Structure 1
Amino acid sequence: FKYCHSLLEQPTYHLHDIYRALTVLAEESDYIQAELYRNSNYIHKRNTRVLYYDCTNYYFEIEQERGDAKYGKNKENRPNPIVGMGLFMDADGFPLSFDLFPGNQNEQLTLKDHEHKVINDFQCSQFVYCSDSGLGSKKNRLLNTTGGRAYVITQSLKKLKKDVREIALSTSQYRKIGSNKFIDLNDLDEEDPEVFNSIYYKEVPYDSNELSETLIVTYSPKYRKYQASIRQNQIQRAQKMITDSGKPKKNRKNPNDPARFLKKQ
């Protein structure tokens, strides 16, 4: 509304009119999103061959549940009621569709209805579904093995079977993107700028949860150096957490806390 007042033809309605119209806008949200998608194609052809999906939540500064604002797992670890939101984004990074759900609902369960809405309202029936492991349950993966769809889900190495994890961590059988020649990571000269800025990968057949999948393992010298610098900084922070008596000043609170490098003797 504030932006509209900077345009040549300023609005004749008032701010309270917008507040009064919010209920109508909410009821017509799916239609508005679908029309926005169709009309945006005239300005920029939307690339819906790859769709990214993720969820977040928003807290309300209230003490009791109200409507869809329910007590759930808050991304910011706040004790307030929250509302969840799932968002589909196209291959170019433009938002495609969003949906809201009660804060106490499992994120894994939000995909099916939202994806069917995208398929029906946006006529996007064939695409590659991409998300993190938190939204990659067996049901969500099975959903994207039909109708010409496929999926790419991140996978934790720690949760792999031991034999598969050993193959994934092996330095052999890698290939440079665009080449079919196999190489060993130990033979790379990472001082070479071309090698340093390249990405290497290998494919490992993987059967999990009754699904035949392909595990794609990637290696980037540039990203390795970046992660090494972050880890070194965290080690230095962990060292500062140790008191003169050799005990840590605080306990580990999350997986990325520098205190994870410390152990009580």
Structure 2
Amino acid sequence: MFVRTKKVKTGGKTYEYYQIVKNTYKNGQSRQKVICTLGSVDDYDPEFADELADTLSEFTGKVTVLSSMDDCHHIWSKEYGSVYVLEKLWEELKLTDILSTYLQGRDFEFEVISAIKAMVFNRCIAAESKRSTFDWMNKDVHLPATEDLELHHLYRSLDFLIENKEKIENKIYDNLKNLFNLDVTVVFYDCSLIDMYGETPELIQYSRKGKPQALLSFVLSRDGLPISHNLLPGNTMDINTVIDAMQDLKKRYSIGKCIFVGDRGMVSREKLDALEDMNFDFIVGVKSNQWKEVKEEVLTTRGRYSKVSDNLKVKQKEIDGYRYIICYNPDQAERDRKIRESVIESLEEEIEGLDPDSKKAAELYGHKYKRRFLRKLKDGTLKIDRMQIRKDEKLDGKYILYTSTDEDELDKEEIASTYKKLSNIERSFRSLKSLQQMEPVYHHADRRIEAHVFICILAHLLERLMEKKFTKENLDMTAAKAFEHLSRMKLTKTELRDKKFLIRTDTTDEMNKVFKALHYQHPKRVQHITEG
């Protein structure tokens, strides 16, 4: 339909009228049918059209006529894109169903699941304290299910969460296997110290860094999804956590033969023997001076390297049925050389004419890295240790892996690639907002600290699931970057005369890439609000 001007000649004069006309087809020919005449052009009253449109809106619900801009009010505008996508991921993992299972028979007077969801989403998007999270969920984002929550409800939800931690983790593990093809033929294990503030004596202990901290240990699947975690006192040594964590994994998830991947801090002969007794193979990093055979046999291995990638070459040495993989990174070798040369150059200037009994001399010889290249003579004079420099030159860009796997199962190139994935996952794990901003933790009870960490782990799981989907669809984007793009989608509550709507902003090209990779439909452009 359209509006046309109809000219009519009468008594030698020409009159013009506005008409609403619709094109119709009859016998293959187009004809125009007059729907309504709005009146003479000269005498046209715009209010008549407003009244007509207003009357039609009672039937369609789609037409709203504004007499002036005073009829249009924007009540609020809130972030929408991020929470919309997180809601989809949350339900895809069936987290509501999991939490509902353990809420049965519990007489909570508030929406526990909504409170937990809000805290998890906040870790992904804004990472704030619980008090700030409460303000955020009410003022900054569109989470209508949280409207009736109070601040103390968040803390009570944390108590429920930690009471059921192991059972919830077990259910999540089952869903990851069934819905996301979880691969646990390889598991990555790591530990991270977290700064703590509080008065509880159990978790907050002075760590090897000399700070009040707790130790977070976590197990990741082959593709980096967190499947279990534990929080221990900060003075716990990383190596002492390995066996308990792997025994717990076997017991809870009935995992069969599996390859354990850990860094150099997880290694001792005793621990590796215990892992093999539990039917774990292992791939671990070892220090160049850790065992006698590493220094005398492994590092002197002759032969050419085989290429894994542009910045990784490998060769191997077998001793007593176990394999050592010598890894060489040319780029890292160049960085090692430049750092050492810079340190040596600085040291040569600092020790020239230096009084051997001075405070400066004592500081240099006690320095964590510089002392490596210093030699003290009988009179206390400091000299550059050229022999140590030559030893270090032979190690530039190299690191050693130790594995119990058979070559038929994984060749040396696959061993190196698998271990490299551990460092990539560690880097990703610590760079994501949910965990990067985990600390410092201010809760004053062990259970609250543990629950706070669990919230962070759940947030990280959603982020990793998002990134896993991105990888599958060849979208080179991190979860953090995706949330940055999605945060620009706002939802505005608008009143047009006596009608209320929720209207979202248009999507950008980057947002469209995210929705396409996740296979999610865009949220509705306009939602009509019916308030009782």
> Shorter chain as normaliser: what TM range?
0.7 to 0.9
**1:176·1:198 contact (CA, 8 Å) conserved in 2?**
no
Q: Does 1:261 align with 2:373?
A: yes
Flag the structure with higher helix content: 2
SS at match of 1:108: helix
**Aligned-pair CA distance for 1:86:** 1.0
Picking from 31, 55, 60, the partner of 2:191 is 55
**2:272·2:282 contact (CA, 8 Å) conserved in 1?**
yes
Match of 2:392 in 1: none
Q: Note the 1:10-29 alignment, pairs <5 A.
A: 10-11=145-146, 12-29=148-165
Picking from 103, 107, 116, the partner of 2:247 is 116
Q: Measure the CA separation in 2 of the matches of 1:49 and 1:93.
A: 12
Structure 1 runs not aligned, ≥5 long = 179-193
Amino acid at match of 1:119: K
Picking from 226, 233, 255, the partner of 1:102 is 233
**2:243·2:275 contact (CA, 8 Å) conserved in 1?**
no
Q: Note the 1:187-226 alignment, pairs <5 A.
A: 197=310, 199-207=312-320, 212-226=321-335
SS at match of 2:276: coil
Relative CO higher for 1 or 2, CA cutoff 8 Å, sep ≥ 6? Answer: 2
Structure 2 runs not aligned, ≥5 long = 1-117, 123-136, 382-532
Picking from 122, 144, 169, the partner of 1:33 is 169
Report the CA distance shift for 1:100/1:251 in structure 2 as closer, same or farther (over 3 A).
same
Amino acid at match of 1:229: K
Q: Measure the CA separation in 1 of the matches of 2:349 and 2:169.
A: 50
Match of 2:286 in 1: 155
Q: Measure the CA separation in 1 of the matches of 2:316 and 2:181.
A: 32
Q: Which whole-Å deviations, capped at 9, do the CAs of 1:216-248 have from their partners, x for residues lacking one?
A: 212232332232223233334445654763765
Picking from 303, 315, 318, the partner of 1:173 is 303
Q: Measure the CA separation in 1 of the matches of 2:366 and 2:164.
A: 42
SS at match of 2:286: coil
Amino acid at match of 1:165: K
Q: Provide TM-score, normalisation by structure 1.
A: 0.73
Q: Which whole-Å deviations, capped at 9, do the CAs of 1:117-162 have from their partners, x for residues lacking one?
A: 222323333221111232122332123214542001211221332x
Amino acid at match of 1:69: I
Q: Provide TM-score, normalisation by structure 2.
A: 0.39
SS at match of 1:143: helix
Q: Does 1:235 align with 2:350?
A: no
Q: Which whole-Å deviations, capped at 9, do the CAs of 1:97-125 have from their partners, x for residues lacking one?
A: 11112334343332222212222323333
Q: Does 1:68 align with 2:180?
A: no
Q: Does 1:77 align with 2:210?
A: yes
Q: Figure out how many residues of one structure are paired with residues of the other and give that number.
A: 237
Q: Measure the CA separation in 2 of the matches of 1:37 and 1:228.
A: 45
**2:197·2:204 contact (CA, 8 Å) conserved in 1?**
no
Percentage of matched positions with identical amino acids: 20
SS at match of 1:97: strand
**1:237·1:258 contact (CA, 8 Å) conserved in 2?**
no
Report the CA distance shift for 1:66/1:259 in structure 2 as closer, same or farther (over 3 A).
same
Amino acid at match of 2:344: I
**1:57·1:83 contact (CA, 8 Å) conserved in 2?**
yes
Match of 1:45 in 2: 181
Q: Which whole-Å deviations, capped at 9, do the CAs of 1:166-188 have from their partners, x for residues lacking one?
A: 3323362234147xxxxxxxxxx
